[in-house]
Amino acid sequence: MLRWVITLLVLANAGFYAWTHGHLSALGFAPSEQREPERLQAQIQPETMHLLNAPEPQKPASEPAAEPPAPATTPAEAARAAPAGPTAPTTPPAPAVPTEPLLPPTSCWYAKGFTTAQIEPLEKRLLDLALPKGSWRIQEVRSGGRWVVYMGRYNDELMDKKKEELKELKVEFRTLNDPPLGPGLALGTFSTEAAAEQGLSNVARKGVRSARVAKDREETVTHTLRLSEITAEEREAVLRLGPEFLAGKSLQPCG
């Protein structure tokens, strides 16, 4: 049964092929030809179709009128018309800081031992030099009087004898060679007369009988010139005053 069905299908396909290709035209079984105008008329024309409730098409904007060509520019005009490129930000210069002028180096010098009679004319001459204020000053130095428990004056023979006696009494002493007290012996040195009187009492209790209180040095007043901040040029100006005003004193560096 299946074989007959397949055979019929093959025969049907062969007959359809022969019919469509015009092999059966002699038997009056030619297929009908469809001409191009008729086919085109039968086609649906999509451009004639309209959608219901469709929005109206927008009218195309009118094309802008063509601009006239720009006139040719010279290179110089193009350079002037070209926008300037961005410039780097410039940092304003820092304000100038005033600097103090360099001062010459200074040093410290002094001379001491001036008496009142010597220092007064020297001070006047220093004022005439117009040295900077505060660069020099004059200091007064007071040395108080000095007292000793004294024995003397002795010749050499008597000096040796008194020394032996003091050693036996275990009393300390020192030899005075310079006048007005020398040659003699000092059994103690004191800054006040009252202290010297007390020292005399102490040695008297030890057996000393010939001692007394004597003034070894009078109270003195001297002056010191101190040039604390002077330049080398100012120091030379002071030295040019000479021994007449410096009284033979030399300037020494401050220690």
If residue 112 lies in a helix (H) or strand (E), which one and from where to where? strand 107-114
Residue 137 binned pLDDT confidence (cut-offs 50, 70, 90): very high
Cα–Cα distances (Å) from 86 to 76, 78, 89, 90, 169, in that order, read 20, 18, 9, 12, 110
Is the pLDDT score of 185 beyond 70? yes
pTM: 0.45
Taking residues 144-169, what's their average pLDDT?
95
Residue 157 binned pLDDT confidence (cut-offs 50, 70, 90): very high
Residue 238 binned pLDDT confidence (cut-offs 50, 70, 90): very high
Q: What one-character DSSP code corresponds to residue 93?
A: P
Please write the tens of the pLDDT for every residue from 114-134: 999 999 999 999 999 999 999
Residue 9 binned pLDDT confidence (cut-offs 50, 70, 90): confident
Residue 176 CB contacts under 8 Å (≥ 6 apart), including other chains: 148, 150, 152, 182, 183, 184, 185, 186, 216
What share of the chain in percent tops pLDDT 90?
Answer: 55
